[in-house]
Amino acid sequence: MIKKYLELNELEVRKLNKFINRNKENKVTIEEMDKQLRSEEYAFGEGIILAINHEDVIARIQIILIECMEKKVAYAINLDIKEEVKNKKKIASELIEAAKNIAKKHKAQKLFLGTTDDILIKTLNSLSLHKEYSSIRMILKDRKIRDLPLNLTILTEENKNEYLRIHNDAFKEVPNGGTLTESKVDEYIKNADDNNCYYIVTINNEMIGMLQFNIEERVGEFELGLIKEARGKGYGKRLLETAINFLNSREVTEINLIVITKNTPAYNMYINRGFKESELINEWFEINVQ
């Protein structure tokens, strides 16, 4: 039986929590799980679909619906089927069909499914679904700065609207680029510290982009965005050098980023700068929702 998360009874919610935690070292509580699954990202729980057999959760899929209105795109993640389930192809097909219906209901014209599980990839291939692109982590070894860094202005309550506008303009046409919400920016401001940093990037007092950094156990990761009207002027490379310079100043032991291979300009820029592929994050498959 296919059920939405919002339709589960109390016992089924507990079974879902057990299902999610079955292969995890760091278990999540039911309250933590509920908060995540009811987030705006999943249309407050509507995008969470489960396969249930005699009140046992045997599979799930989560559909990110927040991009449907702006970009007409939905993303399915965490396609997860219990190891002992024999007919994985049937269960995967049912979950994907349910995901398509949810995506269409939210006006999505495209649906992409991401996974790295080899068994699931074979199952998807058997359903005539094939990889369109990948998201990968890249790491930089040559950290010597090659250009003059740009100016950074820290994200604050006063400039959060500018940050929001810059971010969404920068990622509007980027594959898998997320639309930022005001509530998410407020969360950034609230949780910002020495290891989680958010900046507007300027040149000649003109706001042209944004940078955000996460540092964990002296490993630095960053995300950058450049507004459309500032592209083609060499600012992208300087923005990249600004990010590297910032993390050098924090004396991190490693600098990395995540990129979508379909985002050819960014991917090629990182390759030319010396970034090397280090880890596959997801293989992405397009599912026809028409």
Instruction: Judge whether 44 and 38 are in contact, CB under 8 Å.
Output: yes
Q: Residue 270's pLDDT is what?
A: 97
* Domain 2-129 is found in CATH 3.40.630.30: yes
* Strands 2-4 and 56-64, bridge-based pairing: unpaired
Backbone angles phi, psi at 220, to 5 degrees: -105, 130
**The two domains 2-129 and 139-281 share their CATH topology (first three levels equal):** yes
3-state secondary structure 206-272: EEEEEEEEEEECCEEEEEEEECHHHCCCCHHHHHHHHHHHHHHHCCCCEEEEEEECCCHHHHHHHHH
Taking only the tens place, the pLDDT of each residue in 142-164 is 999 999 999 999 999 999 999 99
For the ranges 51-55, 99-103, 273-277, 283-287, which has the lowest average pLDDT?
A: 51-55
Kindly list the domain boundaries of the chain, sorted by start residue: 2-129, 139-281
Which fold would CATH assign to domain 139-281?
Aminopeptidase (3.40.630)
Q: What is the DSSP string of 36-58?
A: HHTSGGGTTTTTEEEEEETTEEE
Backbone angles phi, psi at 10, to 5 degrees: -60, -40
Paired with 3 in beta bridges are 50
